[in-house]
Amino acid sequence: MGFIKFVKEEIKVIKERDPAIKTSMEVFLYPSFKAVLRHRIAHKLYQRKHYFLARWYAQRTARKTGIEIHPGATIGKGLFIDHGIGVVIGETSVIGDNVTLYQGVTLGGTGKEKGKRHPTIGNNVMISAGAKVLGSFTIGENSKIGAGSVVLSEVPPNSTVVGVPGRVVKRDNVRIPREDLDQIHLPDPVLNELQGLKKENALLREELEELKNKINKLEHNSKEGDKVIEA
Secondary structure of 175-217 in HEC code, one letter for each residue: CCCCCCCCCCCCCCHHHHHHHHHHHHHHHHHHHHHHHHHHHHH
* Terminal Cα distance for the chain, rounded: 106
pLDDT computed for residue 20 by the predictor: 80
The pLDDT mean for the chain works out to 83
pLDDT computed for residue 174 by the predictor: 52
CB atoms closer than 10 angstroms to residue 53: 14
Q: How many residues does the chain have?
A: 231
Task: Tell me the whole-structure pTM to 2 decimals.
Answer: 0.70
**What is the CATH code for 3-187?**
2.160.10.10
Confidence of residue 178 (pLDDT cuts 50, 70, 90): very low
Residue 189 has pLDDT above 70, yes or no: no
pLDDT computed for residue 175 by the predictor: 46
Residue 71 has pLDDT above 50, yes or no: yes
